[in-house]
Amino acid sequence: MNVQELKHPGLKQWVEDAVALMSPDSVEVCDGSKAEYDRMIQITIDAGLATPLNSEKLPGSVLFRSDPSDVARVENRTYIASEREEDAGPTNNWINPAELKKIMTELYKGSMKGRTMYVIPFSMGPVGSDIAKIGVEITDSPYVVANMHIMTRVGTKVLEVLGSSGVYVPCFHSVGKPLGPGEKDQGQWPCAPLDKKYISHFPETREIWSYGSGYGGNALLGKKCLALRIASVLARDEGWLAEHMLILKITNPEGEVKYITGAFPSACGKTNLAMLIPILPGWKVETVGDDIAWMKFGKDGRLYAINPEAGFFGVAPGTNNESNRNAMESCKKNSIFTNCGLTEDGDVWWELIGHGAPGKEIIDWKGNKRPAPQSDKSPKGEEIAHPNARFTAPASQCPCIAKEWEDPAGVPISAFLFGGRRPKTIPLVNQAKSWIHGVFMGSIVGSEVTAAVISDQVGQVRRDPFAMLPFCGYHMGDYFKHWIKLGQSHDESKLPKIFFVNWFRKNDEGKFIWPGYGENSRVLAWIFDRCSGKGKAEETPIGFLPTLDAITRPQGVSETDMQEILKVDIDGWKAEIADVRKNHYPKFGDKLPKELYTELDAIEKRFNA
């Protein structure tokens, strides 16, 4: 399809204006077909940007290596350009929107010379769903087109739903590397220098402008940019939730089904939980989504969730058959790998994959030949795969994908889980006393900074409320208020119950007490029963904790261990409360809802009673 065939006058004009600004050699409107996907992949192979992988081991798959300056989200170059600085809040970078658009318009001028402009109509969520939203991304990157094919629903069907007057989120993207006459990329990943990279969000006008990066969430604008930063603003204004949450379907031995969501900061096992293989006989866990949940209220007063994405953009290092067999199976074909190692036999390799690499040599993520590793570990700083190496795989290929994962009506949510990586204080699991108590728990989520991070904060708790700190498109004080308002304006008995989990408690020797992975199904079973009005529990100052016999113990976990990870650490919690009161809540100023201070006071009072 060409631009003249677009039936939406506003969209047609927007594209024409972009063409005039960015000066591409040609323009294509994406139709979402397999032939189009295959053509994008072939374009990148021909340009020396992609390497076809072993067709027997990874059929239909390719490997990309990005520029070393373009390997992850660039939070310090990510902006929430609200009209008022106070609306962006203290946890976001703010620039005046008029000033930012002026800067970026200059950068966009002629930025696509020598390249093709691709117009990607995409749906976040099943096409036509009442919970879904439509975006249109303009890009000069065939890598982005191919990834968007996997991560979203792209093409003609989206334009049909949009019609001639539908609402869409306009998304500009350019790698920022125009080509001169006859110039080619010569196998070099195209991007702009770091100080020219901008990932910008304009909440009031629902626009996304990205420049200079070709990588991940900086360039696949349906992902964090639309699905969380802009969608969180839409959700606030329209009365729903756009959250950084996995969605699970759990079936008990009696055939009863419940759906739960979970929000966890990075490195807390979110994807592993999303694709968990339970060890409890008769229990079944299936995946609806691994990263993002959009939830709206149904006519019955319950929250219904969709996974707005169509694929997984997973971190490769650390993924193996023990930690996440279903993820390994999901990316066995038709997948895009970025910044992984390449073995002599055309397979991908990364740290903690579970085995060494075959042959004598391996090509690392920078394109250098190295001796093939005999084990699956590398010294820090000498990794063969970049620590943020990724796989992009269709969700439909996941062995444990739930049949409801594309239900346009969504699935009814019974529980929210919040969690962080906390070696002490926070118990294995506890249930909030009420909705407002649950919002309080979500607002103080954090993980302890470890020596694995270069930081002067080792041993301190880095707070990541609701695991949304990098992704909330407005002031987090107002975000907390939105959650509180939803609880006040709906029947609490129909709202999901809220739980806090912590798989990462350690003993005095620094070893994990709880084995995690599939053993976490024991905790999920208790949560499931609590949502059914069952499950043994006792009320404590921090919420409802399982009784000692409520959760069956895994092998190697003693009764003393269970007592340790299910106790209320009074001294630890007093220190937690003091840290929240002194260092965390004051960040949000007078926008911090008074209800959260009331909840903090109440917990402190219960400890001092």
Over residues 58-65, the mean pLDDT reads 98
Question: Is residue 454 predicted with pLDDT exceeding 60?
Answer: no
Tens digits of per-residue pLDDT, 532-571?
Answer: 999 999 999 999 999 999 999 999 999 999 999 999 999 9
Residue 457: per-residue pLDDT: 52
Tens digits of per-residue pLDDT, 390-448?
Answer: 999 999 999 999 999 999 999 999 999 999 999 999 999 999 999 999 999 999 999 88
CB 546 within 8 Å of CB 535 = yes
* Strand boundaries in 344-463, DSSP class E: 348-349, 361-363, 369-371, 390-394, 411-419, 429-431, 446-448, 461-463
Residue 608: per-residue pLDDT: 86
Tens digits of per-residue pLDDT, 158-169?
Answer: 999 999 999 999
Residue 267: per-residue pLDDT: 76
CA neighbours within 13 Å on the CB side: how many for 364? 18
Give residue 456's pLDDT band: very low, low, confident or very high (50, 70, 90). Answer: very low
Which ranges of 23-141 does DSSP label H, i.e. alpha helix? 34-46, 85-88, 97-108
Question: Which one from 268, 331, 398, 400 is the annotated catalytic residue?
Answer: 268
Residue 349: per-residue pLDDT: 98
| pLDDT, the chain, mean | 96
Residue 453: per-residue pLDDT: 40
- Identity of the amino acid at 482: H
**Other Cβ atoms within 10 Å of 399 Cβ, number:** 15
Active-site residue, 268 included = yes
Question: Is residue 268 predicted with pLDDT exceeding 90?
Answer: no
Question: Is residue 458 predicted with pLDDT exceeding 50?
Answer: no
**Other Cβ atoms within 10 Å of 597 Cβ, number:** 14
* Distance spanning both ends of the chain, measured CA to CA: 70
Over residues 581-609, the mean pLDDT reads 95
Question: Is residue 78 predicted with pLDDT exceeding 80?
Answer: yes
Residue 601: per-residue pLDDT: 96
Give residue 452's pLDDT band: very low, low, confident or very high (50, 70, 90). Answer: very low
Residue 266: per-residue pLDDT: 80
Give exposure, 315-345, as e/b (b: 16+ Cβ within 10 Å).
bbbbbbeebbbbbbbbbbbbbbbbbbbbbee
CB 348 within 8 Å of CB 340 = yes
CB-based burial of residue 23 (10 Å sphere; 0-12 exposed, 13-18 middle, 19+ buried)?
A: middle
Domains and CATH numbers, the chain: 3-30+73-238 (3.40.449.10), 242-307+405-608 (3.90.228.20), 315-397 (2.170.8.10)
Tens digits of per-residue pLDDT, 317-355?
Answer: 999 999 999 999 999 999 999 999 999 999 999 999 999
**Other Cβ atoms within 10 Å of 263 Cβ, number:** 23
Question: Is residue 89 predicted with pLDDT exceeding 60?
Answer: yes
Percentage of the chain exceeding pLDDT 70 = 98
Question: Is residue 450 predicted with pLDDT exceeding 80?
Answer: no
Over residues 589-599, the mean pLDDT reads 97
Over residues 174-185, the mean pLDDT reads 96
Give residue 220's pLDDT band: very low, low, confident or very high (50, 70, 90). Answer: very high
Question: Is residue 147 predicted with pLDDT exceeding 70?
Answer: yes
